[in-house]
């Protein structure tokens, strides 16, 4: 009985179980196979192989030297991978460094006088202008008062004081952003004369653009300070430097 | 070194003074990974809490000049660390350093910086 059935089904082009028959051979996929496709038992990978017209060679004969080596070897066209992961697609831990934006402390608002606690301008009292897109704080001395330029600073190096200047009227130029402060890497010529390890320490010279912007911003801030009653005190305050002294303990200080 | 390079400025101190009193220990065994720092003026837990997370530095002098970060060479060396938690009720604080503090630092000055600032 079974034989009869198989004979009937063996006619070419007949449909078995409602699905078209596939050609034998695991590697090759026939281009014109209509969907839905039956997955042939023993198929290791489905759908990942490229549809090729020709059968791809797995092994190639390569000639080798040596008298008694048989002249040729069968070499794989594509080497087997040297590493097989024990877990495919392992769960990657998310990196949080891309989005480094950290919300500002509530004590730091535009116009707050802050004390810089680290860096080349440590101890100076500066004016906080705004938080930039990447999360860093834009501050300025102002430059005329304490030689601190327009600068980006992380808020962890700022101690916010209670003194706040009203800079709501001040329109800080919009081109002053993270890109503006980005360090420009000096590209070295490939053929450099002299020692490669020669340290060329080029001293930083502020660009004309920076000087211009500094003057513009400083003017705004200084005019905001001048509106206050205690402007004399404030100018002196911004010009002076913060330092800890005897019996001054940071945990007891209120700023 | 936190001294300004300009000619006419007094040195400014932006760190709290602390003393390295010893390593974290039980009665008979000490664990050198963690140092105990007694911060000047901190008398209770709340005082100590201010310093958690702050960077600290053990600064010491050596015979040979070694390069320093801002260029040039100096005889000063630093071991950086940070305050990890408070220790006990009296303002003493625990700190972990990049390399464990040397035992000769006991009784000597450690600087507790004011950054990362939380104020």
Alpha carbon distances (Å) from A28 to A24, A43, A61, A81: 9, 11, 21, 22
Name the interface residues of A facing B (CB cutoff 8 Å): 105, 107, 117-118, 122-123, 155-160, 201, 241-245, 247, 249-252, 255
Across the range B49-72, mean pLDDT stands at: 89
Q: pLDDT value at position A222?
A: 92
Cβ contact A251–B15 (<8 Å): no
Q: pLDDT value at position A173?
A: 86
Q: Which helix (H) or strand (E) holds B92?
A: strand B92-97
Strand partners, B34: B96
Block residue for tokens 């053929």: A191
Q: Which residues of B touch A105 (CB under 8 A)?
A: 118-119
Cβ contact A156–B14 (<8 Å): no
CA distance A105 to chain B (A): 8
Question: β-strand A112-116 against A158-164: which pairing, if any?
Answer: antiparallel
Both tokens of A77, joined, read 């066209």
CA distance B101 to chain A (A): 23
- Among the partner residues B12, B51, B119, nearest to A241 by beta-carbon distance: B12
Torsion sign across C-alpha atoms B13, B14, B19, B22: negative
Please count the other Cβ atoms lying within 10 Å of the Cβ belonging to residue B45: 14
Q: In whole angstroms, give the CA distance from residue A255 to residue A182.
A: 32
Cβ contact B41–A117 (<8 Å): no
Q: pLDDT value at position A174?
A: 85
Residues 6+ apart with CB under 8 A from A39: A46
Both tokens of B51, joined, read 């310093």
Q: Assess B10–A contact: CB distance below 8 Å, yes or no.
A: yes
Query: For B69, which DSSP code?
Result: T
Q: Assess B80–A contact: CB distance below 8 Å, yes or no.
A: no
Q: pLDDT value at position A2?
A: 47
Q: Minimal Cα distance from A244: which residue of B? A: B13
The H-assigned helical ranges of B26-112 are: 45-50
Both tokens of B1, joined, read 């070194």
Q: Which residues of B touch A251 (CB under 8 A)?
A: 16, 39, 41-42, 46-51
Q: pLDDT value at position A6?
A: 47
CA distance A149 to chain B (A): 17
Q: In whole angstroms, give the CA distance from residue B56 to residue B40.
A: 13
Interface test mutation site (partner A, options B72, B115, B118, max chain A beta carbons within 10 A):
B115
Question: What's the mean per-residue pLDDT of chain B?
Answer: 90
Q: In whole angstroms, give the CA distance from residue B13 to residue B112.
A: 11
Q: Tell me if the pTM is above 0.90.
A: no
Q: Minimal Cα distance from A241: which residue of B? A: B12
The per-residue pLDDT string of chain A (255 residues; one tens digit each, 9 = 90 and over) reads 444 444 444 455 544 555 555 555 555 555 665 666 677 777 676 666 666 566 778 888 888 888 888 888 888 888 888 888 888 777 777 776 666 788 899 999 999 999 999 999 999 999 999 999 888 999 998 999 999 999 999 999 999 999 999 988 888 888 888 888 888 776 666 555 555 555 566 677 888 889 999 999 999 999 999 998 888 899 999 999 999 999 999 999 998
Three-state helix/strand/coil letters over chain A = CHHHHHHHHCCCCCCECCECCCCCCCCCCCCCCCCCCCCCCCCCCCCCCCCCCCCCCCEEEEECCCHHHCCEEEEECCCCCCCCCCCCCCCCCCCCCCCCCCCCCCCCCCCEEEEECCCCCCCEEEEEEEECCCCCEEEECCHHHHCCCCEEECHHHEEEEEEECCCCCCCCCCCCCHHHHCCCCCCCCCCCCCCCCCCCCCCCCCCHHHHHHHHHHHHHHHHHHHCCCCHHHHHHHHHCECCCCCCCCCCCCCC
Block residue for tokens 């890497």: A185
Whether A149 contacts A218, CB under 8 Å? no
Block residue for tokens 């801030």: A221
Whether A93 contacts A204, CB under 8 Å? no
What ipTM did this prediction achieve? Answer: 0.84
Cβ contact B41–A251 (<8 Å): yes
Q: Which residues of A touch B9 (CB under 8 A)?
A: 241
Q: In whole angstroms, give the CA distance from residue A227 to residue A232.
A: 11
Alpha carbon distances (Å) from A215 to A69, A87, A173, A209: 81, 59, 12, 10
């Amino acid at each position: 009985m079974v034989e009869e059935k198989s004979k009937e089904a063996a006619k070419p082009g007949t449909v078995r179980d409602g699905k078209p028959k596939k050609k034998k051979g695991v590697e090759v996929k026939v281009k014109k196979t209509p969907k839905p496709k039956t997955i042939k038992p023993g198929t290791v990978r489905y759908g990942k192989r490229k549809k090729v017209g020709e059968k791809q060679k797995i092994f190639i004969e390569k000639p080798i030297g040596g008298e008694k080596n048989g002249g040729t070897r069968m070499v794989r066209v594509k080497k087997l991978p040297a590493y097989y992961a024990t877990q495919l697609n392992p769960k990657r831990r998310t990196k949080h460094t891309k989005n480094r934006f950290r919300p500002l402390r509530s004590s730091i608002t535009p116009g707050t006088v802050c004390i810089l606690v680290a860096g080349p301008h440590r101890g100076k009292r500066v004016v906080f202008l705004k938080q930039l897109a990447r999360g860093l704080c834009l501050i300025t001395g102002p430059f005329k008062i304490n030689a601190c330029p327009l600068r980006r600073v992380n808020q962890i190096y700022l101690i916010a004081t209670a003194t706040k200047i009203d800079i709501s009227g001040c329109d800080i130029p919009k081109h002053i952003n993270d890109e503006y402060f980005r360090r420009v890497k000096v590209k070295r010529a490939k053929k450099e004369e002299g020692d490669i390890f020669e340290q060329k320490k080029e001293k930083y010279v502020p660009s004309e653009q920076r000087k211009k912007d500094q003057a513009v911003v400083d003017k705004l801030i200084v005019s905001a300070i001048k509106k206050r009653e205690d402007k004399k005190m404030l100018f002196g305050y911004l010009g002076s430097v913060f330092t800890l002294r005897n019996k001054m303990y940071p945990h007891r200080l209120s700023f | 070194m936190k001294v300004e390079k300009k000619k006419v400025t007094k040195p400014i101190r932006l760190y709290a003074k602390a003393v390295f009193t010893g390593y974290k220990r039980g009665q008979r065994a000490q664990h050198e990974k963690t140092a105990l720092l007694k911060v000047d003026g901190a008398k209770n837990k709340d005082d100590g809490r201010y310093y958690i997370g702050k960077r600290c530095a053990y600064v010491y002098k050596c015979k040979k000049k070694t390069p320093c970060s801002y260029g040039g060479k100096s005889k000063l060396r630093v071991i950086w660390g940070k305050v990890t938690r408070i220790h006990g009720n009296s303002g003493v604080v625990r700190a972990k350093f990049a390399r464990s503090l040397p035992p000769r630092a006991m009784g000597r000055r450690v600087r507790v910086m004011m950054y990362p600032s939380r104020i």
